[in-house]
Structure 1
Amino acid sequence: MATTMDCRNWDEDIYRDSILLDRESQSRTVFRTAFALNPNPHPNHNSYPDLIVATISDGSIASFSISSCLELNYAGNSLVPVPESSWLVQGHEGPAYDVKFYGNHEDSLLLSCGDDGRIRGWKWKEMLESKESAQGSDTFKLQ
């Protein structure tokens, strides 16, 4: 159903904002990425990380499987492939700018900072064990 506009009530600011929101919803910017820590430090286990963590302009922090992203390139689709995130956390109000890991293996923390002036932290082991996204939730919030 199409929305109609009445030219007698034209508001350029509202129109401009609606165009910007529409464009922002169709694209996001990745500001920073970090290779995820390998949760299994056993010497016989593959020591190369398969996850990459990214901070995104909508305030979210997401992880992506590197091997899944590489497989998308070989799918032969004519459209630009878009990888699905392994998990997603709505970490900040406004853009999330940076992500870092602190610590090693079992006790490591995933830290992010954003435009809202906050530094958020999550226990990396709990993030890996979770099968659900924590959008808008404090499930993984560091106490």
Structure 2
Amino acid sequence: MATAMDCRNWDEDIYRDSIILERESQCRTVFRTAFAPNPDHNSYPDLIVGAISDGSIAAYSISSCLGLNSAGNSLVPVAEPSWLVQGHDGPAYDVKFYGNHEDSLLLSCGDDGRIRGWKWKEILGSKESAQGTIFFVCAVMNP
């Protein structure tokens, strides 16, 4: 009878796929960024939104990222997104804002042939990282 750690039940393809998946989850590529609309027109924008190779769309606080460098850590700082949603099946390649105010739309396009949009006001009003809880308000698919 074979158990989970039995060498007679070895599947090299499953092992190889798990290693690749683990490595890809630790390293992501940001293909495009866009500055978020700034409600305070007297200051610099603080949020930057990125289209990520794992299909996610993420927003980062620039001031928080700059604060990581001054922490005195000798390790490479890792910026955590303030908002993240899995926007596409496959890489997300571009993000743009339609409009210049809080009522603007955040649009993204990906390798899945879709363009998706979210209301920026809903993203700003969410109390938690989206992780898929904020649904897109528009979707266009390339046939």
1:22 equivalent to 2:22? Answer: yes
Report the equivalent of 1:132.
128
Q: CA deviation at 1:52?
A: 0.5
Q: Is the 8 A contact 2:37 2:102 kept in 1?
A: no
What is aligned with 2:136? 141
Q: 1:17-56 counterparts in 2 under 5 A?
A: 17-41=17-41, 45-46=42-43, 48-56=44-52
Q: TM-score, normalised by structure 2?
A: 0.84
Secondary structure, counterpart of 2:25 in structure 1: helix
SS of structure 1 residue aligned to 2:63: helix
Contact 1:40 1:105 in 2 (8 A): no
C-alpha separation in 2, matches of 1:119 and 1:7: 46
- Residue 82 of structure 2, aligned match among 69, 72, 86: 86
TM-score (structure 1 length as normaliser): 0.84
The answer on whether the counterparts of 1:32 and 1:54 sit within 8 Å (CA) in structure 2 is yes
Q: Deviations over 1:23-54 (max 9, x none)?
A: 1122222111111111234xxx32x1011001
Corresponding residue for 1:72?
Answer: 68
- Amino acid in structure 2 at the alignment position of 1:117: G
Question: Which residue of structure 2 aligns with residue 103 of structure 1?
Answer: 99
Contact residue 84 and residue 132 of structure 2 kept, 8 A: no
State the distance in 1 between where 2:127 and 2:29 align.
Answer: 25
Q: Report the count of equivalent residues.
A: 136
**For each residue in 1:90-130, what CA deviation from the matched residue of structure 2 results, as whole angstroms up to 9, or x when unmatched?**
21122211100112214311000112211110111221122
Separation in 1 of the partners of 2:5 and 2:113? Answer: 38
In the alignment, structure 1 segments of 5+ residues that lack a partner are: none
Question: What is the CA RMSD across the aligned residues, in angstroms?
Answer: 1.9
Identity of aligned residues (%): 82
CA distance in 2, matches of 1:39, 1:131: 18
Q: What SS class does the counterpart of residue 72 from structure 1 fall into? A: helix
1:55-108, Cα deviation, whole Å (9 max, x unpaired)? 112211111111111111111212111112111112112221110011221431
